[in-house]
Amino acid sequence: MKPSEYPYAPLVPELICSDFARSRAFYVDLLGFRPAYERPEHSFAYLERGPIQIMIEQFSEEGSWATAEMVQPYGRGINLQIEIDDLDGLAAKIKRAGIAFYKEPVDCWYRVDDHESGQRQFLVQDPDGYLLRFCQNIGERPVT
């Protein structure tokens, strides 16, 4: 596939990381993302997991777009919601790897106009502290 034919998502977060190899292993080996393409000379990877796309890149003072000093945990004030089909399977894999959950798996219901939408979800931080909220749809119900 030519680069111009790649199905880029309309919104793709780019996460700056302090240790590219560690972050790449976390996303690829543990979370199940795969490299769509990489630029090893810049410690950059464009990753995908089904329709989900993110970019990771090694922090560098030269050419950085950082708007403030990079102090961990990175990404404070944001969580990235990532919808997947096998939440419990990924949660078990994370637990086996000894990674602590920021929030354990739980079923949550959120009001959406005149009904509630349910999702099973957990939160985990990546190696630089970015907060990832994995979720799986569990249906809808009337507002309770």
Residue 72 located in a structural domain: no
Cα-trace Rg, the chain: 17
Q: How many domains does the chain fold into?
A: 2
Domain identity same for 34 and 91: no
Helices (H), 2-47: 20-25
Q: What is the pLDDT of residue 68?
A: 80
Residue 49 located in a structural domain: yes
Q: Please provide the size of the chain in residues.
A: 144
**Which helix (DSSP H) or strand (DSSP E) does residue 89 occupy?**
helix 87-96
Per-residue pLDDT at 94 exceeds 80: yes
The pLDDT confidence band at residue 75, using thresholds 50, 70 and 90, is confident
Per-residue pLDDT at 64 exceeds 90: no
Domain identity same for 17 and 57: yes
Per-residue pLDDT at 3 exceeds 70: no
Contacts of 109 (CB under 8 A, 6+ apart): 116, 117, 118, 141, 144
Mean pLDDT of the 22-28 span: 98
Kindly list the distances between the CA atom of residue 1 and the CA atoms of 5, 7, 32, 33, 36, in Å, as whole numbers in the listed order: 6, 10, 22, 19, 11
Domain boundary among the residues 32, 61, 90 is at 61
Q: What is the pLDDT of residue 2?
A: 60
Other C-beta atoms lying within 10 Å of the C-beta of residue 91: 19
Going 68 to 72 to 78 to 83, the CA torsion angle's sign is positive
Question: Which domain does 53 fall in, by range?
Answer: 1-61
Query: Which tokens hold the place of 125?
Result: 């931080």
Q: For the whole prediction, is pTM greater than 0.95? A: no
Mean pLDDT of the 67-90 span: 91
Residue 32 located in a structural domain: yes
Contacts of 110 (CB under 8 A, 6+ apart): 116, 117, 118, 119
